Amino acid sequence: MRGNATTTMLPADERRLEALIGQWRALSGTDRAEVLKDIHSRARRADIRSYLMDSLYLLFCEKDAESKKAEAENEVLKYDSLSGAATRTYYDRNADHILGRAQSYGGTQAYVLVDIDDFKTVNDKYGHPAGDDLLRTFGDVARSVLSELGSTNLFVRNGGDEFLFVLDGASRDSAEAFAEELQHRFKDETSRREYAVQTFSCGIALYSQDGADVQTLIRNADRRVYLAKKSGGDCIRSRNLELISQTG
């Protein structure tokens, strides 16, 4: 009998707990400190049942607050404020899981790495606000093009003026077509800006032809970006280039 009594919450206790939760959330920090003092005072007077109820409630509130704080921090870490792309931190935490999606899309996945040409010149000539506007513009164009492909593809700000696209189920041809459309719309949109037409250099690596792990795929995409830059920029490279061997 005693075991059942201690593990079952009475309706009156449930209502009281709900009321306490509402009251706690409305309190300021100072008022919460006073509540804690009162709880400990009642505990010393051996009002054990009341003490346990309030302690349970406080534990619930603290855990709830910690969970919401963690969720808010994760949201801040997830998206870049300028471009709207996922952050590098978010991608690094989920890279292996994202690569694993390739098996659900016919075993193919394209890694499209983009580096905006002459970004430093825009910053130096027109100022950082223009540079920020350029990143926002690229983000808007990228999300628009991606929205036409499907919801599972990922857009990441890799750092500075470099961006990564992970295209699930993409072939080399379709990845090239995506990059060409992105380049076309980016040129068109920036032609209306004070810093005139902007372009980018792009390297594409395909799972598993160009690598079977994240590090190798990104390194090979980056090598192709370098070669695109070296040839003068405004260029997309994805084929017939010496590749870095797979890691580990």
Where along the chain do its domains lie? 2-76, 88-237
Query: 88-237 in CATH: which number?
Result: 3.30.70.270
* Cα distance between residue 66 and residue 60, in whole Å: 10
Q: What is the pTM of this model?
A: 0.69
* Cα distance between residue 21 and residue 33, in whole Å: 15
* Cα distance between residue 13 and residue 5, in whole Å: 13
Most confident of 36-40, 46-50, 193-197, 229-233: 229-233
* Cα distance between residue 24 and residue 32, in whole Å: 7
SS3 category, 226: helix
The predicted model gives 107-118 an average pLDDT of: 95
- Residue 131 identity: G
- Segment among 36-50, 188-202, 222-236 with least mean pLDDT: 36-50
Burial zone of 203 (CB within 10 Å; 0-12 exposed, 13-18 middle, 19+ buried): buried
Q: In the chain, which residue ranges form alpha helices assigned H by DSSP?
A: 2-7, 11-26, 29-44, 48-78, 88-100, 119-126, 128-147, 172-190, 214-230
**pLDDT greater than 80 at residue 30:** no
The predicted model gives 108-133 an average pLDDT of: 94
**What pLDDT, on a 0 to 100 scale, did the predictor assign at position 227?**
92
**pLDDT greater than 70 at residue 60:** no
- Residue 126 identity: Y
With beta carbons less than 8 A apart as the criterion, state whether 109 and 209 touch. no
* pLDDT band (50, 70, 90) for residue 33: confident
**pLDDT greater than 70 at residue 51:** no
Q: What is the pLDDT of residues 137-147, one digit of tens each?
A: 999 999 999 99
Q: What is the pLDDT of residues 173-216, one digit of tens each?
A: 999 999 999 999 999 999 988 887 899 999 999 998 999 999 99
